[in-house]
Structure 1
Amino acid sequence: MTPETLPAATPPRDLELTIGPAAHGGHFVARHEGRVVFVRHGLPGERVRARLTDAGEKAKFWRADVVEVLEPSPSRVPHFWAPADALKAGARGRLPVGGAEFGHISLAEQRLLKAGIFSEQLARLGGMDRDVTVEVPANESTDGLGWRTRVSFSVAPGGRLAMHPHRSDDLIPVQEMPLASAAINALRLWEVDFTGADRVEVAAPAAGGPPLVLVIPSAGTHPRTLARIASEVGAAADAGAGETVSVAAWNPESHELTRLRGRTWVREHAAGHEYRVTGAGFWQIHRSAPEVLVNAVLQGLDIQPGERVADLFAGAGLFTAPLADAAGADGHVLSVEGSPGTSRDARKNLFAAGQVEVVQGRVDRVLRSRESRLDAVLLDPPRTGAGRVVVDQISAAGPRAVGYVSCDPASFARDLAWFREAGWELDTLRVFDLYPHTHHMESFAVLRRP
Structure 2
Amino acid sequence: MSTTWEHRLVEVEVGAVAHGGHCVARHEGRVVFVRHALPGERVVVRVTEDAGGSFCRGDAVEVVTPSPDRVEPPCPFAGPGLCGGCDWQHASWPAQRALKAAVVREQLQRLAGLDREVVVEPLPGGPEDWRTRMRLAVGPDGVPGFRAHRSHRVVPVDHCVIAVPDALDGVLDRTWPPRSELAVTRDAEHRGHLVEIGPPTTRRGRRPVPGPAHLRRGSGTATEQAAGRTWEVRADGFWQVHPAAADTFAGVVREWAACRPGEHAWDLYGGAGLFASVLAGQVGATGSVAVVESSTAAVRDGRANLADLPQVSWHVGRTEAVLADPAFTGRRPAVVVLDPPRKGAGKAVVTAITDHRPARVVYVACDPAALARDIAVFADRGYALTQLRAFDAFPMTHHVECVALLEPDRLSEWSVD
TM-score (normalizing by structure 2): 0.92
Shift of 1:381: 0.3
Amino acid at match of 1:188: G
Q: Tell me, yes or no, if structure 1 residue 132 matches structure 2 residue 118.
A: yes
Helix, strand or coil: the match of 2:77? helix
Helix, strand or coil: the match of 1:322? helix
Q: Please, which of 321, 324, 338 is the counterpart of residue 365 of structure 1? A: 321
Amino acid at match of 2:185: A
CA contact (8 A) 2:119 2:390 kept: yes
Aligned to 1:181: 164
Helix, strand or coil: the match of 1:298? helix
Alpha-carbon RMSD across the aligned residues, in angstroms, is 1.7
TM-score (normalizing by structure 1): 0.85
Amino acid at match of 1:378: V
Write the deviation string for residues 107-146 of structure 1: whole angstroms up to 9, x where unpaired. Answer: 1111111111111000101111111111112x222xx101
Aligned to 2:25: 30
Q: Are residues 257 and 361 of structure 1, via their aligned partners in 2, closer, same or farther at CA, if it must alter by over 3 Å?
A: farther
Q: Are residues 262 and 439 of structure 1, via their aligned partners in 2, closer, same or farther at CA, if it must alter by over 3 Å?
A: closer
Q: Please, which of 278, 282, 294 is the counterpart of residue 238 of structure 2? A: 282
Counterparts of 1:301-380 in structure 2, within 5 Å, are 301-369=257-325, 370-380=329-339
Shift of 1:259: 6.5
Unmatched 5+ residue regions in structure 1? 1-6, 87-94, 221-250
Aligned to 2:398: 439
Quote the Cα distance in structure 2 between the aligned partners of 1:372 and 1:219.
Answer: 44
Shift of 1:337: 0.6
Q: How many residues align?
A: 399
CA contact (8 A) 1:257 1:279 kept: no
Shift of 1:85: 2.5
Shift of 1:219: 5.3
Quote the Cα distance in structure 2 between the aligned partners of 1:258 and 1:307.
Answer: 45
Q: Are residues 202 and 334 of structure 1, via their aligned partners in 2, closer, same or farther at CA, if it must alter by over 3 Å?
A: same
Q: Are residues 160 and 19 of structure 1, via their aligned partners in 2, closer, same or farther at CA, if it must alter by over 3 Å?
A: same
Counterparts of 1:393-412 in structure 2, within 5 Å, are 393-412=352-371
CA contact (8 A) 1:306 1:327 kept: yes
CA contact (8 A) 1:83 1:174 kept: yes
CA contact (8 A) 2:105 2:118 kept: yes
Amino acid at match of 1:75: D
CA contact (8 A) 1:197 1:216 kept: no
CA contact (8 A) 1:275 1:317 kept: no
Counterparts of 1:79-228 in structure 2, within 5 Å, are 79-86=73-80, 95-137=81-123, 139-141=124-126, 144-185=127-168, 187-196=169-178, 198-205=180-187, 207-218=188-199
Helix, strand or coil: the match of 1:319? helix
Aligned to 1:4: none
Shift of 1:279: 4.5
Q: Please, which of 30, 36, 45 is the counterpart of residue 41 of structure 1? A: 36
Amino acid at match of 1:386: A
Aligned to 1:73: 67
Quote the Cα distance in structure 1 between the aligned partners of 2:287 and 2:295.
Answer: 25
CA contact (8 A) 2:195 2:216 kept: no
Amino acid at match of 1:118: V
Quote the Cα distance in structure 1 between the aligned partners of 2:330 and 2:199.
Answer: 45
Shift of 1:203: 1.0
Amino acid at match of 2:152: D
Amino acid at match of 1:38: F
Helix, strand or coil: the match of 2:172? helix
Quote the Cα distance in structure 2 between the aligned partners of 1:421 and 1:294.
Answer: 28
Quote the Cα distance in structure 2 between the aligned partners of 1:77 and 1:277.
Answer: 38
Shift of 1:276: 1.8
CA contact (8 A) 2:72 2:90 kept: yes
Q: Tell me, yes or no, if structure 1 residue 61 matches structure 2 residue 47.
A: no
Helix, strand or coil: the match of 2:48? strand
Q: Are residues 155 and 396 of structure 1, via their aligned partners in 2, closer, same or farther at CA, if it must alter by over 3 Å?
A: same
Unmatched 5+ residue regions in structure 2? 202-207, 411-417
Quote the Cα distance in structure 1 between the aligned partners of 2:36 and 2:167.
Answer: 26
Please say which of residues 420-429 and 208-217 is displaced more in the overlay: 208-217
